[in-house]
């Protein structure tokens, strides 16, 4: 299993604050069994969901088998229909810094 960040952003016109259709879709998603949908796409856990409403952006952090399952999850939930998405593999600070410094500077 690996960590992935789902970075999303949408246009002001489709923001749920400005668009009733989007608002209804997101309300339904928020009230759904999101964890079950995640498991159907080989996502073990949704570790965080962070949103910046006025910037129309979000970051969800998930633990999944591969990015293709994360992509399928985004389509199945409908978040791909109203957001531009980027799925990025993540590592912790410790996982990235120590090996990187050791390799670059022999520390």
**Regions of the chain with pLDDT less than 50:** none
- What burial letters (b/e) apply to 30-44, b meaning 16+ CB within 10 Å? eeeebeeebeebebe
Q: Quick one: pLDDT at residue 87?
A: 98
Question: Which domains, ranges and CATH numbers included, belong to the chain?
Answer: 2-105 (3.30.70.1060)
pTM, two decimals, is: 0.88
Q: Quick one: pLDDT at residue 93?
A: 87
Distances (CA, A) of 2 to 49, 65, 85, 89: 17, 6, 18, 7
Q: Quick one: pLDDT at residue 30?
A: 94
Give the pLDDT confidence of 73-99 residue by residue, as tens digits.
Answer: 999 999 999 999 999 999 988 888 888
Q: What residue has token string 């633990």?
A: 63
Cβ atoms of 44 and 66 closer than 8 Å: no
């Amino acid at each position: 299993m690996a960590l992935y960040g789902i970075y999303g952003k949408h246009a002001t016109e489709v923001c749920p604050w400005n668009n009733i259709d989007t608002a209804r879709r997101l309300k339904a998603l928020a009230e759904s069994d999101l964890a079950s949908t995640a498991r159907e796409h080989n996502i073990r856990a949704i570790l965080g969901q962070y949103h910046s409403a006025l910037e129309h952006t979000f970051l969800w952090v998930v633990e999944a088998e591969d990015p293709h399952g994360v992509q399928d999850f985004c389509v199945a939930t409908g978040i791909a229909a109203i957001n531009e998405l980027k799925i990025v593999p993540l590592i912790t600070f410790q996982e990235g810094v120590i090996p990187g410094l050791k390799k670059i500077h022999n520390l």
